[in-house]
């Protein structure tokens, strides 16, 4: 059964009860739709757009964080909407041409920075916009461009549709997103909900535990000793509390507090020294994480980077302090004698090899936290028989290696979908929104502490057929903490979303009841006047 709507291409969109229910809810008021990745947020958007264009007239503005995402959405709407003009506005389009396209188009898909700039220069106005869609709505915090656009739109009596797989785990973050974007209702669906469950394909989750190899354990011990020395210095300076675990999160808080004190005019040698020691601790902490969870190649590359920084004229005092330490030299010497990569890489190769042999048509996506690890994993996986491997990385270049422009990122995913490549090794750029192929296997080289990123990574499989997710965890390291953190935050997010929705629903019912009472009283008064 297909969706029937005068503005939607006939027999092109499967009718799904939960998508229609969500779209209907969005017609009643500005709404945040929280739906698992792969469950058709874009189809919900299409249904709302079609209804708005038919009933409310005016324009629809869709905003997405990146140009590839904008173009992806625009292509879908051009294909599915009948008799309405869809256009793409990006920074590459001449401002004068953007102004003309805005006037002539019914649906405008754009990056938020472009719209914010054009509003500021008064090239465009939101007065004719009846609906704004904020894709990846969890970005609507702080000074991100979604916020000023939403503020400009408030009071114009238009609808807002926010779309995300995860708005954040804290009640404060969820409320901030809703408040910033002018959202007054939340609609949540999970894979287990009755109206969604029959469309969900099984995703088999595996957690594979590995041990830190003896050689790397020795290196980790040396780095831990150096890390502990810097932490002890910070405690002695009175900027850290010895009773609190010296996590990276705590160190970043310490940096903010020191910086705040300096900005307020508190100039002291101790504070400046503390800032430098804090930077040393961050650098050593990162090296420790690489040693325990990433491997020899990533750690060696980082050590070389620190040495280069220390030797340069504009190198930081912190880099020089770390490189000048006895422990740094010990680690360099120990690395010379290690020739085996982290055991994660052999597990990744084994898992992918088995997948390709069992199902030669498989598509595999490997996520890595760091670019160096991405390079290393792609290099090793390319040695597997039958594996056709490519990388999906961000735009920033490093050293002699160029990043991938957004158009090239889209090209990589297109070739992946078409089968030219069957394995993509990706950094975080592969997590958000982009239309990845029907992936059979997703591998996390390491867990990520963010529930948003974890949900997005996981959602790259199980879209149109069953899938498998494998998470590699190094025992007794930050991997375990990251895994626990993401799982805990995801549970908290679901709980708080439902709590907030129930709260809003109660308030809405209360307001409707009050309004009904007023209407009844007014009617009784008028009747009394008439009969009197």
pLDDT at position 530: 45
Q: Which two tokens stand for residue 387?
A: 């594996």
pLDDT (tens digit per residue) in 355-366 = 999 999 999 999
Q: What does pLDDT average to in each consecutive run of 10 residues of the chain (532 residues)?
A: 93 93 94 87 95 93 91 93 94 89 96 95 94 95 95 93 86 91 91 82 87 92 97 95 93 94 89 95 96 93 94 91 96 89 95 96 93 94 96 78 82 89 89 69 91 76 76 94 88 84 75 56 54 51
- All domains of the chain, ordered by start, with CATH? 17-198 (3.40.50.300), 214-336 (1.20.1320.20), 342-396+405-481 (3.40.50.300)
Distance CA 80, CA 88 (A): 16
DSSP of 5-69: -TTB-TT-SB--HHHHHHHHHHHHS-EEEE--TTS-HHHHHHHHHHHHHHHT-SEEEEE-SSHHH
In Å, how far from its chain's centre is CA 358?
32
242: exposed, middle or buried (Cβ count in 10 Å: 0-12, 13-18, 19+): exposed
What residue spans of 81-170 are helical by DSSP H?
95-104, 112-120, 146-153
The neighbouring-strand residues paired with 135 are 163
Distance CA 128, CA 121 (A): 17
Q: Residue 433: which of 417, 408, 457 has the closest Cα?
A: 457
Strand 31-34 and strand 159-164: the pairing is parallel
């Amino acid at each position: 059964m297909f969706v029937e709507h005068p503005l939607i291409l006939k027999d092109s969109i499967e009718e799904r009860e939960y998508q229609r229910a969500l779209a209907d809810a969005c017609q009643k008021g500005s709404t945040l739709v929280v739906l698992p990745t792969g469950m058709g947020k874009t189809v919900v958007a299409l249904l709302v757009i079609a209804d708005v264009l038919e009933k409310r007239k005016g324009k629809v503005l869709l905003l997405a964080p990146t140009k590839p995402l904008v173009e992806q959405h625009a292509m879908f709407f051009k294909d599915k909407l009948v008799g309405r003009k869809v256009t793409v506005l990006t920074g590459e389009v001449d401002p004068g041409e953007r102004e003309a396209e805005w006037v002539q188009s019914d649906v405008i898909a754009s990056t938020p920075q472009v719209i914010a700039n054009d509003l500021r220069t008064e090239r465009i106005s939101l007065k004719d916009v009846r609906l704004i869609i904020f894709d990846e709505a969890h970005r609507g915090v702080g000074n991100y461009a979604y916020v000023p656009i939403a503020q400009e739109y408030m009071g114009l009596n238009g609808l807002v549709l926010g779309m995300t797989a995860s708005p954040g785990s804290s009640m404060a973050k969820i409320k901030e997103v809703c408040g910033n974007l002018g959202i007054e209702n939340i609609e949540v669906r999970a894979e287990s909900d009755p109206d969604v469950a029959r469309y969900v394909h099984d995703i088999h989750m595996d957690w594979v535990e590995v041990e830190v190899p003896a050689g790397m354990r020795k290196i980790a011990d040396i780095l831990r000793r150096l890390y502990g020395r810097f932490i002890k210095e910070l405690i002695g300076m009175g900027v850290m509390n010895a009773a609190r675990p010296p996590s990276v999160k705590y160190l970043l808080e310490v940096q903010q507090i020191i910086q705040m004190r300096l900005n307020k005019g508190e100039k002291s040698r101790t504070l400046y020294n503390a800032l430098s020691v804090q930077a040393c601790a961050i650098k050593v902490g990162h090296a420790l994480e690489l040693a325990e969870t990433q491997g020899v190649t990533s750690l060696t590359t980082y050590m070389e980077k620190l040495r280069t920084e220390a030797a340069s004229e504009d190198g930081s005092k912190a880099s020089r302090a770390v490189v000048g330490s006895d422990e740094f030299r010990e680690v360099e010497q120990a690395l010379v004698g290690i020739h085996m990569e982290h055991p994660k890489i052999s597990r990744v190769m084994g898992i992918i090899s088995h997948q390709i042999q069992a199902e030669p048509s498989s598509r595999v996506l490997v996520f890595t936290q760091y670019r160096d690890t991405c390079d290393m994993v792609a290099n090793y996986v390319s040695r597997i028989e039958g594996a056709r491997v490519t990388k999906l990385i961000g735009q920033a270049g490093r050293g002699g290696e160029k990043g991938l422009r957004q158009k090239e990122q889209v090209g990589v995913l297109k070739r992946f979908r078409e089968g030219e490549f069957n394995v993509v090794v990706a950094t975080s750029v592969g997590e958000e929104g982009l239309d990845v192929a029907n992936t059979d296997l997703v591998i996390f080289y390491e867990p990520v502490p963010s529930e948003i990123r974890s949900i997005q990574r996981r959602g790259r499989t199980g879209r149109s057929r069953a899938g498998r997710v494998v998470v590699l965890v190094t025992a007794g390291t930050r991997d375990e903490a990251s895994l626990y953190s993401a799982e805990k935050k995801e549970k908290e997010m679901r709980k708080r979303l439902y709590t907030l929705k129930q709260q809003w629903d109660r308030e809405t019912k209360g307001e409707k009841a009050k309004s009904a009472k007023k209407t009844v009283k007014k009617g009784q008064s008028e009747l009394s006047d008439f009969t009197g």
